[in-house]
Amino acid sequence: MKFLNWIRKTPGGRLAWRLAIGLIGGGITVFGAILLVAPGPGILVLLAGLGILATEFAWAGRIMMRTKEMANKAAERTGMKPWVKYFLVAGGAVFSIVAILIYHYR
C-alpha cells in the first residue's frame, strides 16, 4: 500500500497510475468483448475488465451498476425463488470443483 501512496503523491504519478489501470482494464474489457463472439466466458471477462476500470474511473462504476441492475431484473423475470438460484449456483460450483479434481488426478 505504501507504493500506491507514493505513486499518488505527484500529478505525474497519478496520471501514470490511471494510464496503467486504463490500459490493463481496457485490454481485459476488449478481450472480453472478443470472447462474446468467440468461445469462452466473454461476459465474465468483460465484467472483470470493467471492474478493474471502475477502481479509477467513475464512468466504469456507473456501467457496472447498470449492468448489475439489468442482471437483477433478468433474474427476477425467471420467476425462480432465491433459494433455487443459490442451490443451482452452489451445485454448479461443486460440480466444477469435482470435475477439475477428477481431471487433475487422471
Residue spans of the domains in the chain: they are 2-78
Greater model confidence, 59 or 4: 59
Taking 80 as the threshold, does the pLDDT of residue 42 lie above it?
no
Taking 90 as the threshold, does the pLDDT of residue 27 lie above it?
yes
Taking 70 as the threshold, does the pLDDT of residue 1 lie above it?
no
How would you label 17-47 residue by residue, b for 16+ Cβ within 10 Å and e otherwise?
eeeebeeebbebbebbeebeeeeeebeebbb
pTM: 0.63
> Tell me, what DSSP letter sits at residue 38?
S
Predicted pLDDT at 68: 81
Predicted pLDDT at 19: 92
The per-residue pLDDT of the chain, averaged, comes to 86
Any idea which residue has 505527484 for its cell? Answer: 10
Q: What is the SS3 assignment for 29?
A: helix
- φ, ψ of residue 10 to 5 degrees: the values are -110, 150
CB of 28 closer than 8 Å to CB of 49: yes
pLDDT digits (tens, 9 = 90+) for 69-90: 887 888 788 787 878 878 888 8
Which among 52, 63, 62, 57 is positioned nearest to 24, based on CA atoms? 52
Greater model confidence, 91 or 5: 91
What nine digits make up the cell of 73?
431484473
Predicted pLDDT at 33: 86
